Amino acid sequence: MGGGNIVVNKKISIIGVPMDLGQNRRGVDMGPSAIRYAGVMETLEALNFQIEDLGDIKISRPSRGAEQLQDNLRNLSQVAEGNELLAEQVDEAITAGRFPLVLGGDHSIAIGSLAGIAKHYENLGVIWYDAHGDLNTADTSPSGNIHGMPLAVNLGLGHERLTNILGYQPKIKPENIVLIGARSLDEGEKELIRETGIKVYTMHEVDRMGMSAVITEVTDYLKDRTDGVHLSLDLDGLDPGDAPGVGTPVIGGLSYRESHLAMEMLAETDMVTSAEFVEVNPILDEKNKTAVIAVGLMGSLFGEKLK
């Protein structure tokens, strides 16, 4: 079952998803270009990976003025179509024995990436590195923005255009999910976390325990119960001082140094079998700083070391 891990399998497929329809701030569709411009190919090639850049998924746009809420879901049809295409590409990459590295785009793209990945695993673990839980449904969402729903969708909660991509649901089990860096959770999300027992390390826990202890606990928790681990890293998990180019910044976040340490420790465990880096918005950024940080974190995840 499953694709290869980071160290053994030196083949990576990069898939860009210029999706900005899961929310209502423009610009995050340029995230994949910004990350490429920041040198993702060069960084990973220098670590002796064989990189295949599959380019960008085609995202259809609602006609001007036609952006609408359908069942309290913004741009449902276009978000679903884009995620279906992404799921197929990710599925093909894993089938070919390649590590899928997905570049976003807003976090709604995790619907498609996890649909394509989870079918290859019995018990896929998910590390959700994010300021937000992304556990809303149309019923609990204050905004109707689908980028606040992908984790709920992957648990089988939500509109079936989204939950049933590739014809199966749920994609993942709540006990195989760990949230790191949470500091902005809606009431409905808190309730769902309590009900399902999803493991959460808020900023409070990170501050008290330190990132090293958090990652050690997370890897101990996931290693026996999962047969692969997907890392879904939202750049808004980092503090806006470090990563300003995101659509929903929340102050008091993870530092760049803590995040590097987390990636280096995950690289040492050799557990991560797929990854996505999302919510880079160059329009809101300072000199492409957030994309450069994303590439730096990818370097650490794929084994870049100072010595």
Whether residue 204 lies in the annotated active site: no
Whether residue 230 lies in the annotated active site: no
Give pLDDT, residue 67. Answer: 63
Out of 106, 130, 239, 304, the active site residue is: 130
Compare 61 and 145 and report the one with higher pLDDT: 145
Whether residue 134 lies in the annotated active site: yes
Give pLDDT, residue 307. Answer: 59
* pLDDT, average across residues 63-74: 76
Whether residue 120 lies in the annotated active site: no
Give pLDDT, residue 71. Answer: 85
**C-beta of residue 284 within 8 angstroms of C-beta of residue 62:** no
* Distance, CA of 105 to CA of 278 (rounded, Å): 6
**C-beta of residue 79 within 8 angstroms of C-beta of residue 19:** yes
pTM for the full predicted model: 0.96
Instruction: State the sign of the Cα–Cα–Cα–Cα dihedral 232, 236, 242, 244.
Output: positive
Out of 147, 159, 230, 260, the active site residue is: 147
- Catalogue all structural domains in the chain, each as residue range(s) with its CATH number: 11-301 (3.40.800.10)
Out of 20, 91, 106, 107, the active site residue is: 107
Out of 20, 29, 106, 134, the active site residue is: 134
* Distance, CA of 76 to CA of 128 (rounded, Å): 23
Out of 29, 236, 258, 276, the active site residue is: 236
Does the pLDDT value for residue 20 go beyond 80? yes
CA 88 vs CA 105, 165, 273: distances in Å: 17, 10, 17
* pLDDT, average across residues 93-110: 97
**C-beta of residue 256 within 8 angstroms of C-beta of residue 181:** no
b/e code 228-245 from CB counts within 10 Å (16+ = b): bbbbbbbbbbbbbebbbb
Give pLDDT, residue 292. Answer: 98
Whether residue 132 lies in the annotated active site: yes
Whether residue 29 lies in the annotated active site: no
Give pLDDT, residue 19. Answer: 97
* Residue 1 confidence class, pLDDT cut points 50, 70, 90: very low
* pLDDT, average across residues 37-53: 97
**C-beta of residue 105 within 8 angstroms of C-beta of residue 17:** yes
Residue in this structure with the two tokens 């991560």, named with its chain if needed: 272
3-state secondary structure of 220: helix
In total, the chain counts a number of residues equal to 307
Q: Which residues contact 241 (CB under 8 A, 6 or more apart)?
A: none
Does the pLDDT value for residue 3 go beyond 70? no
DSSP secondary structure letter of residue 167 = G
* DSSP annotation string for 243-277: ----SS--SS-B-HHHHHHHHHHHHHHT-EEEEEE
Tens of pLDDT, residue by residue over 199-250, are: 999 999 999 999 999 999 999 999 999 999 999 999 999 999 999 999 999 9
* Distance, CA of 139 to CA of 124 (rounded, Å): 27
**C-beta of residue 18 within 8 angstroms of C-beta of residue 57:** yes
b/e code 246-263 from CB counts within 10 Å (16+ = b): bbbbbeebbeeebbbbbb
3-state secondary structure of 5: coil
Out of 234, 239, 264, 276, the active site residue is: 234
What are 100's strand-pairing partners?
13
Whether residue 107 lies in the annotated active site: yes
* pLDDT, average across residues 78-94: 97
Averaged pLDDT score across all residues of the chain? 94
* Distance, CA of 183 to CA of 254 (rounded, Å): 10
Give pLDDT, residue 25. Answer: 85
Out of 56, 279, 285, 304, the active site residue is: 279
Does the pLDDT value for residue 43 go beyond 80? yes
* Residue 62 confidence class, pLDDT cut points 50, 70, 90: confident
* pLDDT, average across residues 89-114: 98
Whether residue 147 lies in the annotated active site: yes
Tens of pLDDT, residue by residue over 178-202, are: 999 999 999 999 999 999 999 999 9
* pLDDT, average across residues 126-142: 95
**C-beta of residue 240 within 8 angstroms of C-beta of residue 253:** yes
* Residue 9 confidence class, pLDDT cut points 50, 70, 90: low
Out of 132, 159, 230, 260, the active site residue is: 132
* Distance, CA of 259 to CA of 129 (rounded, Å): 9
